[in-house]
Amino acid sequence: MKPFYITTAIDYANGSPHLGHAYEKVLTDVIARFRRQQGDQVHFLTGTDEHGQKVQASARRRGVEPQAFCDEVSGEFRAMLPRLQITNDDFIRTTEERHKRVVRDLLQRLFDQGDIYRAEYRGYYSARQEQFLQDKDRNPDGSWPEIFGEVGEITESNYFFRLKKYQPWLVSFLEANPDFVFPRFRQSQVLEFLKEPLNDLCISRPRERLSWGIPLPFDDGYVTYVWFDALTNYYSAVVDRPGVWPADYHVIGKDILVPPHAVYWMIMLQAAGLPLPRHILAHGWWLQRGAKMSKSTGNALNPLDLVDQFGSDAFRYFLMREMNVGQDSDFTLEQFLARYNGELANNLGNLVNRTLNMTTRFAEGVVPPAGAPGDAERELRELWERTSAECIALSEGFQFHTALERTMAFVAATNAYVEKRAPWKLGKSAEAADRELLRTSLATMAEALRLAVALLQHVMPAAAGRINEVLGHVPGPIWRDELAWGGRLAGKRVAASLVLFPRPTPPAAVTAG
Ligand code: MSP
């Protein structure tokens, strides 16, 4: 079976990671874990994008060599991964030899077959974006949009990649594969972009202007344009692992879909005769008060502050619960706290506490076997059957926010079931029927908790592990089997208590940085 190969964008090694970077890793990890638990063999790649003007300039400002600068920043991105419980199988840096070799081979191949040519170019150039501009990029009043910074006119001899030649192919490919980009409305944006004729892509930068890059194999007076270099990471990382390429999903932000991923990368692969990725998933942005969170606007949140304070399970839960994949979301601490307190501490945490506490008080810490179900047990079980089927379908379609909402609704229904059965009252009675109902209610709440945890584990792996542990449950190898309602915990000894989501100590210290 071909491994399910999933990648994130590789982050620019020119500043510290922020919430947007963390989100992309968490989203990709949730998908990777979900696929693994469904039986796929997964290969999960992430990494850092280390060449180019921005990195060279940042290193210069700090007065260090670009390589030393990259080692430090890349190290910071890498160190974040275990703190977020990211289960990547590989981490690629574009300054590694294994990557540079593949970029050079690819360039040489495209050059030899005539898809890369040399030409004079005179045009407007944005140093900040490392991009040549055209008049159509101007604002209606003739000025240049701010994102380009200072724009100058330059003439240069450069190397160009024949994008235009492949435009008709790309359009027909996208038309034949309407599910290529998720969400679908983003695929329409790609086609919209392709209504205009493409220009060939300048893939070289003269050394005197930029030295921090991969030299062109056929002209070492130039280094490779950073996007051509960076995109190749997805392939270079697995070139020595037969059967892994092509990627099943490239997970990226919406800002880098068009043109880099949906146009340049697709045409690079097609021109090189390599198999194409199966899908691109373009997620939205985390905003703060309506503006994209980014380092340059100074409104970026340090994800690790939230992790320090609330734990990485709560952090992952919030990101997945709050954001509808593909749309933008505003981040506010109030909303984070509302979900933390309401959904994690009060709803899930409460069910954990009650289960442990009542099993300890009324059954000497051992989950009893369930007796014959009454209406309340039957209703809860029916809700479970619906919830689990829905959550699988929703998660397969990346609707994690709704799947979590449904799972938490099931947890809430279990809490309501406990209120209704009131084991604390049954525990006072010596009647045989009450003793039986007590056993049934304790068994039912424990089983419902175990099941809910099976639907949460790809989002909150550590919390799921701890709850299973205190329930004395060791999940079996087949995840689907874990979803079957079956009184699996009868006879298991539970722990007396577990504090999973402690009340935050005010004031919540989350800093912008
Ligand atoms: N280096 C390029 C990607 C090359 S991939 C071959 C790059 N790096 S980046 O550091 O600017 O962004 C990395 C990823 O983080 C991108 O997918 C980007 O969309 C994502 N995010 C950056 N800011 C974001 C938010 N505020 N919200 C969500 N994700 C955003 O682009």
What pLDDT, on a 0 to 100 scale, did the predictor assign at position 432?
97
Q: Is the pLDDT of residue 183 over 90?
A: yes
Q: How far is CA 282 from the centre of its chain?
A: 10
**Could you give the CA distance from residue 480 to residue 165 in angstroms, rounded to a whole number?**
48
User: Which of 14, 19, 181, 252 most suits a substitution to test ligand 1, by most atoms within 8 Å of the C-beta?
Assistant: 252
What pLDDT, on a 0 to 100 scale, did the predictor assign at position 271?
98
User: Which of 14, 24, 131, 227 most suits a substitution to test ligand 1, by most atoms within 8 Å of the C-beta?
Assistant: 24
Q: Is the CB of 379 under 6 A from ligand 1?
A: no
Whole-Å CA distances, 490 to 447, 464, 465: 9, 19, 19
Nearest CA to ligand 1 atom 18: 253
Ligand 1 centroid distance, CA of 286 (Å): 11
**Could you give the CA distance from residue 58 to residue 151 in angstroms, rounded to a whole number?**
19
Give the strand pairing for 329-330 and 280-283.
Answer: unpaired
The least confident of 22-26, 269-273, 291-295 is 291-295
Taking the CA of residue 254 as reference, the ligand 1 atom at the shortest distance is 19
**Could you give the CA distance from residue 21 to residue 76 in angstroms, rounded to a whole number?**
12
For residues 376, 377, 381 and 383, what is the CA-based torsion angle, rounded to 10 degrees?
20
Q: What's the pTM value of the predicted model, to 2 decimals?
A: 0.95
Q: Phi, psi (5° rounding) for residue 165?
A: -55, -30
Token code pair at residue 440: 């049934």
Ligand 1 centroid distance, CA of 47 (Å): 12
User: Which of 400, 500, 359 has the alpha carbon at shortest distance from 33?
Assistant: 400
Q: Is the CB of 322 under 6 A from ligand 1?
A: no
Among residues of the chain, what percentage have pLDDT more than 70?
A: 98
- When pLDDT is cut at 50, 70 and 90, the band that residue 510 belongs to is low
Average pLDDT over residues 481-502: 97
Tell me the pLDDT tens digit for each residue of 312-332.
Answer: 999 999 999 999 999 999 999
What pLDDT, on a 0 to 100 scale, did the predictor assign at position 513?
39
Ligand 1 centroid distance, CA of 298 (Å): 16
What pLDDT, on a 0 to 100 scale, did the predictor assign at position 156?
87
Tell me the pLDDT tens digit for each residue of 79-121.
Answer: 999 999 999 999 999 999 999 999 999 999 999 999 999 999 8
**Could you give the CA distance from residue 473 to residue 479 in angstroms, rounded to a whole number?**
13
**Could you give the CA distance from residue 241 to residue 3 in angstroms, rounded to a whole number?**
11
Average pLDDT over residues 493-501: 97
133: which residues sit within 8 A by CB, 6+ positions away? 123, 124, 125, 126, 144, 148, 151
User: Which of 204, 123, 199, 112 has the alpha carbon at shortest distance from 158?
Assistant: 204
- When pLDDT is cut at 50, 70 and 90, the band that residue 64 belongs to is very high
- When pLDDT is cut at 50, 70 and 90, the band that residue 132 belongs to is confident
Nearest CA to ligand 1 atom 5: 9
Average pLDDT over residues 245-250: 98
- When pLDDT is cut at 50, 70 and 90, the band that residue 507 belongs to is low
Ligand 1 centroid distance, CA of 388 (Å): 33
